[in-house]
Amino acid sequence: MTLALRVVLVHRRTELTELLERHGTRGQADFFLRTRGRRIGDLEDRHEAATSALTAVAAAIPPDWRRGLVERADLPQFLFAPDDLVVVVGQDGLVANVAKYVADQVVIGIDPEPGRNPGVLVPHQPKATAGLLAAAGGAAPQVCELSMVSAVTDDGQELTALNEIYLGQPTHQTARYTLRVPGGEAEAQASSGLIVATGTGGTGWCRSAWLERHSSLTLPAPTEARLAWFVREAWPSPATGTALTEGSLADGEVLEVTAESDQLVLFGDGVESDTVPLTWGQTARLRVSPRSLRLLR
């Protein structure tokens, strides 16, 4: 017997929910916000929009299909099945949070607040859910294959991200390491860390670094199997250089970083609570990931 398709709805707690958990009552939360020049009504409107969107999406799931529900904080413990359809209801960043936990599953991005979010990764509105599910469950769904970045350490730990991977000190203070680029050229560096980004990440943190240094580097497109990397605030000294501070990584090329500090960390997509440590003498190899995010068009 073949099991019916399962739709997994991914959401995150609203700011109102988190505020009420912290302060206990609406009155206390309202007082806290008013002392900071904010209105609780704004948070209630956004909470209502998110709740209504999640309800509308759930109602559009065919009654004979299976369903699951997972909150963002529980993603590391949730087991996605290979044939799940993953529906993300929230901001663009929530799709990036999901990307590292899925493989070949089709992902659908639903924007609960059209006009407020950029909508790059959540381009669809809740009312379109029924048609999107029908398309995603078909024989050949139309998807965008968004490139991802991966880092593998020499003790076998692996980290994958949709936007970018950061390598540096957990405090963002000076990190010391040796950087080796494709072709073998190497340089000892002291910097605020290293960003290795995909084309999707090229609109965020990576683009900030690119603009700040007026770089002539061409940033990759989201579906392009190429990465861009930037060293943040490299410091010249008798022992450290600044010659290798930006570049591209084509598919199959590797950027190597060997730690020369007590402990560096790698984290993806801004999630500093989920890090991979890199201790003195260890090496991380960063490259285009063999995985991609299959985002429904």
Residue 34 maps to which CATH number?
A: 3.40.50
Per 3-state DSSP, the chain is made up of helix, strand and coil in percentages (nearest 5) of 25, 35, 40
Longest Cα separation, the chain = 69
Last residue of a domain, one of 106, 123, 141: 141
| Domain assignment present for 20 | yes
Last residue of a domain, one of 112, 141, 170: 141
Tell me the three state secondary structure of residue 112. coil
Mean pLDDT in consecutive groups of 10 residues from the start of the chain, 297 residues: 85 93 92 92 93 96 95 92 96 93 95 88 95 91 95 95 94 92 95 95 89 93 96 94 96 97 90 88 97 95
Residue closest to 201 by CA, chosen among 93, 111, 55, 102: 93
Residue 268 maps to which CATH number?
A: 2.60.200.30
Q: Tens of pLDDT along 23-62? A: 999 999 999 999 999 999 999 999 999 999 999 999 999 9
Q: Is 91 in the same domain as 212? A: no
What are the CA-CA distances from residue 143 to residues 78, 107, 269 (Å)?
24, 9, 22
- What values do phi and psi take at 284, rounded to 5? -115, 140
Domain ranges, residue 42: 6-141
Residue closest to 90 by CA, chosen among 107, 68, 67, 65: 107
pLDDT (0 to 100) of residue 138: 85
Structure tokens at 190: 């002291």
Our count of domains for the chain comes to 2
pLDDT (0 to 100) of residue 3: 76
| Domain assignment present for 254 | yes
| Domain assignment present for 28 | yes
What are the CA-CA distances from residue 21 to residues 38, 56, 67, 161, 163 (Å)?
18, 25, 27, 30, 30
Q: Is 124 in the same domain as 254? A: no
Handedness of CA 46, 15, 275, 87 (dihedral sign): negative
Last residue of a domain, one of 92, 117, 141: 141
* pTM for the structure as a whole: 0.89
Q: Is 97 in the same domain as 204? A: no
Q: Tens of pLDDT along 232-254? A: 999 999 999 999 999 999 999 99
| Domain assignment present for 184 | yes
Q: Tens of pLDDT along 61-82? A: 999 999 999 999 899 899 999 9
Instruction: Specify whether the CB–CB gap between 225 and 250 falls below 8 A.
Output: yes
Q: Is 52 in the same domain as 76? A: yes
